[in-house]
Amino acid sequence: MNDALWDRLQNLDLDGDAALPFSARLARENGWTTEFARRVVEEYKKFVFLAMRAGHPVSPSEEVDQAWHLHLTYTRSYWDEMCGAILGAPLHHGPTRGGREEGQKFESWYRQTLESYRQFFGEEPPRDIWPPSEIRFGEAAHFRRVNLKRAWLLPKPRLKMPRVENQIKLVPLVFALILAGCAEVQNAGPNVFDWHGGPFLAFFWSLSALGLAFSG
């Protein structure tokens, strides 16, 4: 692409010779590999270019937004070097004010941003950094930073809901097994680890039936 602005943005060195480079800090704060963080930085530069050239409001992906947030804390690099010397104009970060209309607005901007990306750069945005809008405003909207020194991260189990016809078929079986389980365990005591024989089998098969119902 023959554009002096893009050439200047490509030459913007966010890492410099710092002991903790920008990309390494970005990787550390988001739990990414350094290589992935470097790719995000390059996509962030493309986003900044689109903000100045697309001719419409733009919206970043969650990953690009994290690079944007971090760059804003490097005030001299952001305001003096990038906005002042490279862009020649301020680039403000305006988060959503909340509400359904705001959500729809930003989702529309994001779709336009992806389309302008294709037009200007002649390629598809990488999906691991620029996911489709249904993911950007679905899963990605629940992103939270976590201090890994204080918390463990365990993925949530993904329960697959069965088709309606399978749900209907399983209702009598699940109901019968739960009733049988209740009858068996009512005198078995409160601690399931102390159960044996009939009560434990009733409990086990009741759980199995419920698991089957949600396995699809």
151 within some domain: no
In the three-class reduction of DSSP (H, G, I as helix; E, B as strand; rest coil), residue 147 is classed as coil
- Inter-axis angle of helices 22-30 and 62-73, to 10 degrees? 130
Question: What is the value of pTM for the model shown?
Answer: 0.67
Whole domain around residue 53: which residue ranges?
Answer: 4-142
147 within some domain: no
103 within some domain: yes
45 within some domain: yes
Angle at 197 between CA 191 and CA 200, to 5 degrees: 40
- Tell me which residue has tokens 């329960």: 159
Beta strand residue intervals within 112-162, DSSP E: none
Interval 36-82: pLDDT, tens = 999 999 999 999 999 999 999 999 999 999 999 999 999 999 999 99
Contact between 179 and 172 (Cβ < 8 Å): no
Q: Are residues 39 and 138 in the same domain?
A: yes
Q: In which band, very low, low, confident or very high, does the pLDDT at 162 lie, cut at 50, 70 and 90?
A: low
Last residue of a domain, one of 108, 142, 176: 142
